[in-house]
Structure 1
């Protein structure tokens, strides 16, 4: 895996984690929200195995496009929301992630 692939992988992980956190905050505001913002809840909504969601959010695998879309939509977001998060991640965010998880 080259450097660019690694950076994109980290940006995907960070983007998904940001959306998950946003969802948890939204859930506190809206009691009727039916999306559960946990790995299990996302997996259930996305019709994926919990291990798939877990491996993706923990950086063990790079998701295929269909898996990524399923996870994002399983969180109750769309790909526009994901791309905004992805684009907002800086080089410093990637460096911090690398320092914490390697």
Structure 2
């Protein structure tokens, strides 16, 4: 959740800067800044994807309860984690494509 909310606010900040025309007033290499942004978000989303996949793999892990041995994740939690893992992978792939395009813009 931290990764997606942070990426949303940074994207919103970039959008406001571009729409307000501040990019012409600030002397910065915007292609490089775009590359750094996409690289950072890609790394964070990749980490979130790996952690979510690791949490999903705990479905078959058993823990001791007071009455009986039960799975660590029930079926509902497992289904939610599978969906979150798939969406995290798709988002990581999209940011990877954006990263490659940003690299092409920065390094012609």
Q: One fold, TM greater than 0.5?
A: no
Instruction: Give the shorter-chain TM-score range.
Output: 0.3 to 0.5
More helix by share: 2
Q: Name the larger-Rg structure.
A: 2
Per residue, is there more strand in 1 or in 2? 2
TM-score, normalised on structure 2?
0.35
TM-score, normalized by length of structure 1? Answer: 0.37
